[in-house]
Structure 1
Amino acid sequence: MVYANQTQTNFTVGLQYEGLLGRLFSSTLTTVPCCVFLFINGTMLFTLRSKSVFRETSRYILLFNLLFADTVLLALSQFLYLLASCTITLSYPVCGVITMLTNLTNEVSPLTLVVMCLERYVAVCYPLRHASIVTIRNTNMAIIVVWAFSSLNVFIRVVLLLDFPFSDLDTLQMTDFCSHLAMFLNPVSNIYDKAYTGFLFTSAGVAVISSYLGVVIAARSASTDKASARKARNTLLLHLVQLGLTLLSTIQNPLLIAISQIVTRIVIVRIQITLHVCIFLFPRCLSAFIYGLRDQTIRPVLMFNLCCRLKRSVVPAKAEKSSLVKFSGRPRLVTISGFSC
């Protein structure tokens, strides 16, 4: 989809007008936040696989799927950006594989958000039927449908791409940097991409807003758990913001084109970097913040994985010995809050 890599094309065009120092500065400003977000997402993924309660709960299974897609998307997009910063071009087949993987993971994210919002809607509005509707089997089926639907869309894009007469080219080596827009070799591909993007975001937006309104209405009912409804409402609102930030990237190019008429190219590059971090990188890490900091079940385990292992490596030997106590004549290690820090 255009909103995944559109900023990349603008970056690479602007970077051609900067020197080595400017390229290094621009690459650092995007790579450092991306590495931080990748570390947070990676730790969150490890956390969600470390305990059986996370592996056997539908909402956490959906969260793992969302984080996995966002993490792969971040890594691939930053890899393409760094290639462009180093003025490295790829062949059409290699670029096609990378961009199609980027498309696949980029389309899985909003669809998974929709499923997660529907799960919260069922939990609040139909609490007695939640256990029978949102089962592990149904959750896995929903994830399979999400990936299958996204894969079908990628397959259609590949078919449209193969319609281009590659045999007429002297070489398969690309003359431009690899990006999603560079693979629009057929005008039909561009039309299809715009139509699919509009359909996807319209459908996802309607589903999320409907779920949010349903939870708000249910919260006014006397039979509804007020605390649970309020928490679900806030979660849905954050997901709506997350979807909105992703949607903003679809209008980034027209906005930058308008701004470029009144400012210099160097200023445009700086604006592009800011927008890239705010509306492309940050939304892909927002799920980790939403659940990692707000969810009382995930937060202590996540904090342990982020901090406790580091602290344990610098604990002095004396402190380690003091944690041994006598139990039935044998020394045992005392555990704190379920973790052996």
Structure 2
Amino acid sequence: MSYSNQSQTNITVGLQYQVSLGLLLSSMLTTLSCCVFLFINVTLLFTLRSKPVFCETSRYILLFNLLLADTMQIAEGQLMYIIAACRIMLSYPVCGVLIMLVNVVSDISPLTLVVMCLERFVAVCYPLRHAAIITVRNTGVAVCVVWAFSLLNVFIQVLLMLKFPFAELESLQMDDFCGKDNMMFDPVAADYDNAYNCFLFVSVGVAIVFSYIGVMIAARSASTDKASVRKARNTLLLHLVQLGLSLSSTVYNPLLFFISKYDSVILSRIHTVIYVCFIILPRCLSALIYGLRDQTIRPVLMYNLCCQRFSPLHSVIQTKAKIGKLVT
């Protein structure tokens, strides 16, 4: 009997060691990848504020806002992932603050995509009025409206959350991991969150499709620049893909809640795969796509990423300097 108990104890210890090792490795890998993408995103954010052309062009201002929200989501998502992977139990107030911060920036991306689509729509369909409509001032107002709309949603969620009688609890310490679903105490709050997400993504999808149809109709006009229309059409399709990726992140919390009920090495790996696919990748594509696709951003971005060395722009600057010395 003692030998059987000892064997069972050894098996249990071995499984716990494998789970702990798997969590450690997955946390290290995801943290490393997050650091890489954060470095790229922060560099692109710096790039978009390093030149006057980026600060005075509406589409680059909107791209900065989109990238800022994605960067904040990556950082907050990694923090929440480490907390969940390590099974750290937070208090309800701390978890509530973290969830609200995540909710604020998660709405910024789809709302900014709407403004970016409308900007492309005006540029193609009303090229003569584009400079008068899409100004830096109007773009700043649109960005403020986007943030105000997101903050209003969070404010309503906080009010619904405060309806729960926390004073009747024996302790404010949570007995489960910190997740959005675990903070939905009232069925009304859950219904509101589902209705808001449906309204948000349907509205954004309709706006993108409407802009795409408008651009395609404008493409039939003989006076329209075909190259500009083609570029705008590809941009709108890219925004539609970004919207789909943003929508996929809404299923992360339910999947995480389901996986957290089990303890095994395989399920912890599944957790890591889901996190990378639904949280990290959608948030890093903006920097990779726009940074490499835009001919104006690319050389400056490569110049900054390479620490101002080994980039095409650096080579051009060196060449001009050498020519200037030869002339003098």
- For the aligned pair, the TM-score class normalised by the smaller chain equals 0.7 to 0.9
Match of 1:281 in 2: 280
Q: Any idea what SS the aligned residue of 2:207 has?
A: helix
Question: Given residue 34 of structure 2, which amino acid in structure 1 is its aligned partner?
Answer: C
Match of 1:165 in 2: 165
Match of 1:41 in 2: 41
Question: Given residue 301 of structure 2, which amino acid in structure 1 is its aligned partner?
Answer: L
**Total equivalences in the alignment:** 306
Which gives a bigger RCO, structure 1 or 2 (Cα 8 Å, sep 6+)? 1
Match of 1:31 in 2: 31
| Separation (CA, whole Å) in 1 of partners of 2:264 and 2:246 | 25
Aligned-residue offset at 1:257? 9.8
Task: Compare 24-33 and 187-196 and name the one that shifted more.
Answer: 24-33
Match of 2:248 in 1: 248
Q: Any idea what SS the aligned residue of 1:128 has?
A: coil
Task: Compare 188-197 and 269-278 and name the one that shifted more.
Answer: 269-278
Q: Any idea what SS the aligned residue of 1:304 has?
A: helix
How is 1:169-248 mapped onto 2 (pairs within 5 angstroms)?
169-248=169-248
CA gap 1:127/1:264 in 2 versus in 1, 3 angstroms? same
CA gap 1:83/1:323 in 2 versus in 1, 3 angstroms? farther
How is 1:113-124 mapped onto 2 (pairs within 5 angstroms)?
113-124=113-124
Q: Is the 8 A contact 2:252 2:278 kept in 1?
A: no
Q: Is the 8 A contact 2:252 2:275 kept in 1?
A: no
Q: Any idea what SS the aligned residue of 1:50 has?
A: coil
| Separation (CA, whole Å) in 2 of partners of 1:23 and 1:258 | 17
Q: Is the 8 A contact 2:215 2:229 kept in 1?
A: yes
Q: Is the 8 A contact 2:71 2:283 kept in 1?
A: yes
Task: Compare 19-28 and 83-92 and name the one that shifted more.
Answer: 83-92
| Separation (CA, whole Å) in 1 of partners of 2:175 and 2:323 | 65
String of CA shifts for 1:191-212, please: whole Å, max 9, x gaps: 1111111110100111011111
Q: Any idea what SS the aligned residue of 2:308 has?
A: helix
Aligned-residue offset at 1:101? 0.9
| Separation (CA, whole Å) in 1 of partners of 2:123 and 2:281 | 28
How is 1:244-323 mapped onto 2 (pairs within 5 angstroms)?
244-251=244-251, 266-311=265-310
Q: Is the 8 A contact 1:90 1:174 kept in 2?
A: yes
String of CA shifts for 1:193-251, please: whole Å, max 9, x gaps: 11111110100111011111211221222111111111111111111011112223335
Task: Compare 264-273 and 114-123 and name the one that shifted more.
Answer: 264-273
Match of 2:153 in 1: 153
Question: Given residue 158 of structure 1, which amino acid in structure 2 is its aligned partner?
Answer: V
Q: Any idea what SS the aligned residue of 2:128 has?
A: coil
Aligned-residue offset at 1:51? 0.5
Q: Any idea what SS the aligned residue of 2:246 has?
A: helix
Aligned-residue offset at 1:273? 2.5
Question: Given residue 126 of structure 1, which amino acid in structure 2 is its aligned partner?
Answer: Y
What residue ranges of structure 2 are gaps of 5+ in the alignment?
1-15
Q: Any idea what SS the aligned residue of 1:282 has?
A: helix
CA gap 1:217/1:198 in 2 versus in 1, 3 angstroms? same
| Separation (CA, whole Å) in 2 of partners of 1:89 and 1:226 | 57
| Separation (CA, whole Å) in 2 of partners of 1:124 and 1:178 | 46
CA gap 1:161/1:17 in 2 versus in 1, 3 angstroms? farther
Q: Any idea what SS the aligned residue of 1:19 has?
A: helix
| Separation (CA, whole Å) in 2 of partners of 1:257 and 1:76 | 18
Q: Any idea what SS the aligned residue of 2:175 has?
A: coil
After TM superposition, the score normalised by the length of structure 1 is 0.82
CA gap 1:301/1:265 in 2 versus in 1, 3 angstroms? same
Q: Is the 8 A contact 2:37 2:284 kept in 1?
A: yes
Question: Given residue 291 of structure 2, which amino acid in structure 1 is its aligned partner?
Answer: G
| Separation (CA, whole Å) in 2 of partners of 1:231 and 1:135 | 21
Aligned-residue offset at 1:33? 2.4
Q: Is the 8 A contact 1:66 1:108 kept in 2?
A: yes
Q: Is the 8 A contact 1:256 1:268 kept in 2?
A: no
Percent identity reads 64
CA gap 1:324/1:232 in 2 versus in 1, 3 angstroms? closer
Q: Is the 8 A contact 1:66 1:112 kept in 2?
A: yes
| Separation (CA, whole Å) in 2 of partners of 1:192 and 1:148 | 18
Q: Is the 8 A contact 2:180 2:253 kept in 1?
A: no
Q: Any idea what SS the aligned residue of 2:164 has?
A: coil
Q: Is the 8 A contact 1:69 1:108 kept in 2?
A: yes
Q: Is the 8 A contact 1:48 1:60 kept in 2?
A: yes
Q: Is the 8 A contact 1:29 1:273 kept in 2?
A: no
Aligned-residue offset at 1:86? 2.5
| Separation (CA, whole Å) in 1 of partners of 2:270 and 2:87 | 21
Q: Is the 8 A contact 1:235 1:290 kept in 2?
A: no
| Separation (CA, whole Å) in 1 of partners of 2:66 and 2:277 | 19
- How large is the Cα RMSD of the aligned pairs? 2.9
Match of 1:99 in 2: 99
Structure having the larger proportion of residues in helix: 2
